[in-house]
Amino acid sequence: CYISSFKFSLGNNITFYDYVTYNFDYSDVFFEIEGVKYSITSLCYNYYSVAINSSLYSVGNYNYTIYANDSSVPDNWAVPVNGNFINY
């Protein structure tokens, strides 16, 4: 399993988009900001999105991580994608 691309947009919602490639059926994809996990929605085959209300976060710099796992072997986690964003 591999997280191959990622982008986000800021506004009233902070919306994150990612593309995940699996060896087999996916098992789990989730998104985390500063230790808080959010459910991520499948838009269509391999594309995922999560929209988070920006008012939940005060102005500042935040770290995020995207995790993905497929069912080829137990705990076959992709290398997490880490980054940060600034909430205005």
pLDDT, position 3: 60
29, 1 in Cβ contact below 8 A?
no
Token digits for 61?
Answer: 């710099």
Mean pLDDT per segment of 10 residues, for the chain of length 88 residues?
59 78 70 88 79 86 85 73 83
pLDDT at position 9, please?
Answer: 64
**Closest by Cα among 2, 10, 6, 3 to 61:** 10
pTM score, whole prediction: 0.74
pLDDT of residue 24: 63
